[in-house]
Chain A
Amino acid sequence: MKRQLGRGVAVVGVGKSPFGMFADRDSKDLFAEAFTRMRASVDRGIDPKDIEALYLGNFSNDFFVRQSHWGPLTSDVIGIVPRAATRTEGACASSSQAFREGVLAIASGFYDIVLVGGLEDMSKRTTEEVAEGLALAASPYEISAGFTFPGVFGAIATAYFARYGANREHLMNVTIKSHDNAKLNPEAQFNVSVRDLMEAKIAGAQKKGKPVPHWDDEKAFLRDPAANPPIAWPMHLFDCCPISDGAACALLVAEEIARSFTDTPLHVVGLGQGSGRGLHAADELTSFEANRYAAKEAYAMSGLTPEDIQFAEVHDCFSIAELIHIEDLGFFKPGQAYKAVEQGATRLDGPMPINTSGGLKCKGHPVGATGIGQICEVWAQLRGTAGARQVPKPDLHFGAAQNLGGTGGTCTFTILERR
């Protein structure tokens, strides 16, 4: 299985809106902001009239804001009507599918310049409604059995714990690391460490004259159900990504014209996508078949191995998911990720930095925008513009992004190279 692009494709610009809960903003103006920022990121500029087509990921604005058919709505916002606008839906991997379709469309020779993007508007509903909306991407059997998304990943965590001897404390290491990275990311929805949050709670209680809580450290804070309530055992609030609105986009061009946009294009060297089944039929409960397939496809295309990847954004919709992904992608052996994380291997200054952006947990997770949101972080790292959270390695060439939809129904893995 070695699949190759018909011709090379490069990313020459990216942009994302802020991710967060915005009562006074909708998907159209968030995408407009992402688009404006993308234009600003193209070193030699892009005239929107040169964009030939749009591929747009959106999971379920149909449910969240009762509006479907976001392709043409979005092409109108950015002024490229009547050029083709195609929506992709792969649950939380929707915009990675858009990215992939855009790459394939250029690689086929049909287009030279394509915009790929994603958006989601989630905050206008209650938490219970969002849980129901997200569960639409689970299998029908999971929904009937009462599973929510935190529930599915909670169940996966219990299987992982039983199989490998991990426990909640190990998941806390993932959360603490993500927040530490997010503190360095001014664009993160939660631009703050767990320690900062803990100290703010103590200060808040003191100021209001309420009983002052005491926690020995961040883990004591996370163990306290008053500070970190259970959502779906063993997933607690701090194991779960937030509800977010947001949009992101990337400009893809044929490699042979990339240099007319920038001297530092990022080449799409690995592209993988797999499909999988629900919990009742998955080949394993502690790994995603779709992940392993996507990884194999992307590694084969690129000729790279997991050891060549210098950092990665992975789909940490829940803390346990990060552990499983970094095993499925081959960065760590099955059952070893929780130990590696405990030893700091995935920290910003570790040998394999994971989710330098703060991940979905802290950067935010507007589901349809997340895949390209991850590409935005890979872009910043590979081009050396990640500021305080820049990966401290001298020679960054290969970065990757892994995106998961549903309960592992869709997984994508994308490897970008700066040459």
Chain B
Amino acid sequence: MTDARINDISFQRFLGEDRLMGCRCRACGAQFVPPKPLCSRCHGDDLEWVEFEGRGTLAAFTCIRVVPPTMQPWGYGRDRPYCSGVIELSGGGRVVALIDEVDPTHPETIAVGMPLTVKYLHQGEGPSRKTLLAFKPA
């Protein structure tokens, strides 16, 4: 699929291309998302890229009001909380991501188990362009 080095740097670059990529161990079939440089099940190093569809359900979430400096450039702050969540992917595996298009000021409207689809938030241009992995209600 691609000969990009299997690591977090490539994972992040793929997110910038709106692709959620993990890896599979050719020896034992274990899948990892985000990708890992070694198979942590059989310890082999023969890994290949796998693209994930980006559908899943919300397994856990939080609505953050005390916002770390890293999230402030995205416009979040005490008056504008955001939701972060843990997503069980439909093809197996789990990722953590921002949960967009929900109302973080009313957490009771967000529910564990709700179906989600992936979206990618981009900011900036050129070398300073950043991408956040996000999900939204399906």
Q: Which residues of A contact B (CB under 8 A)?
A: 127-129, 131-132, 135, 139-148, 150-152, 154-156, 158-159, 161-162, 229-235, 278-281, 285
Given A230-B81, A232-B63, A233-B63, 4 more A-B residue pairs with CB atoms under 8 Å apart are A128-B66, A146-B82, A233-B107, A279-B60
Chain B contacts for A230, CB-based, 8 A: 63, 65, 81
- Interchain CB contact under 8 A, A285 and B60: yes
By beta carbon, the residue of chain B nearest A229 is: B65
- Interchain CB contact under 8 A, A131 and B66: yes
B96 at the interface (CB under 8 A from A): yes
Tally of contact residues, B, Cβ under 8 A: 34
- Known contacts A128-B69, A158-B61, A232-B63; A151/B84 CB under 8 A: yes
Chain A contacts for B86, CB-based, 8 A: 155, 159, 279-280, 285
- Interchain CB contact under 8 A, A147 and B112: no
- Give the distance to chain B from A208, nearest Cβ to Cβ, in Å: 25
- Interchain CB contact under 8 A, B68 and A144: no
- Interchain CB contact under 8 A, B133 and A155: no
- Interchain CB contact under 8 A, A148 and B64: yes
B37 at the interface (CB under 8 A from A): no
- Interchain CB contact under 8 A, B64 and A151: yes
B132 at the interface (CB under 8 A from A): yes
A278 to B84, CA, bound (A): 14
Chain A contacts for B132, CB-based, 8 A: 144-146
- Known contacts A131-B68, A132-B69; A155/B84 CB under 8 A: yes
A151 to B66, CA, bound (A): 9
- Interchain CB contact under 8 A, A231 and B59: no
B34 at the interface (CB under 8 A from A): yes
- Known contacts A132-B68, A231-B66, A234-B107; A145/B60 CB under 8 A: no
- Give the distance to chain A from B100, nearest Cβ to Cβ, in Å: 11
- Known contacts A162-B112, A285-B60; A145/B66 CB under 8 A: no
B85 at the interface (CB under 8 A from A): yes
Chain A contacts for B34, CB-based, 8 A: 141, 280
B44 at the interface (CB under 8 A from A): no
- Interchain CB contact under 8 A, B112 and A146: no
Which 7 A-B pairs have CB atoms at the shortest separation, nearest pair first? A154-B62, A162-B112, A159-B60, A233-B63, A155-B60, A233-B107, A145-B96
- Give the distance to chain A from B130, nearest Cβ to Cβ, in Å: 10
A137 to B66, CA, bound (A): 17
Chain A contacts for B66, CB-based, 8 A: 127-128, 131, 148, 150, 231-232
- Known contacts A132-B69, A162-B112; A280/B96 CB under 8 A: yes
- Known contacts A141-B95, A280-B34; A146/B65 CB under 8 A: no
Interface pairs (9), CB distance under 8 Å: A141-B96, A148-B64, A148-B66, A154-B63, A154-B64, A158-B60, A233-B104, A234-B62, A285-B59
- Interchain CB contact under 8 A, B68 and A145: no
- Interchain CB contact under 8 A, B59 and A143: no
B38 at the interface (CB under 8 A from A): no
- Give the distance to chain B from A288, nearest Cβ to Cβ, in Å: 14
By beta carbon, the residue of chain B nearest A127 is: B66
- Interchain CB contact under 8 A, B68 and A159: no
- Known contacts A128-B69, A233-B107; A145/B64 CB under 8 A: no
By beta carbon, the residue of chain A nearest B111 is: A162
Q: Would you list which residues of chain B between 39 and 90 have a CB under 8 Å from chain A?
A: 59-71, 76, 81-82, 84-86
Q: Would you list which residues of chain B between 83 and 138 have a CB under 8 Å from chain A?
A: 84-86, 94-98, 104, 107, 112-113, 132-133
- Interchain CB contact under 8 A, A128 and B68: yes
- Give the distance to chain A from B91, nearest Cβ to Cβ, in Å: 15
Chain A contacts for B98, CB-based, 8 A: 145-146
- Interchain CB contact under 8 A, A159 and B63: no
A152 to B61, CA, bound (A): 8
Chain B contacts for A156, CB-based, 8 A: 60
- Interchain CB contact under 8 A, A128 and B96: no
Choose from B65, B69, B95 the contact partner of A280 (Cβ within 8 Å).
Answer: B95
By beta carbon, the residue of chain B nearest A278 is: B96
- Known contacts A128-B66, A162-B113, A279-B60; A147/B84 CB under 8 A: yes
Chain A contacts for B82, CB-based, 8 A: 146
Most interface-central of B60, B69, B132, B133 (chain A CB within 10 A): B60
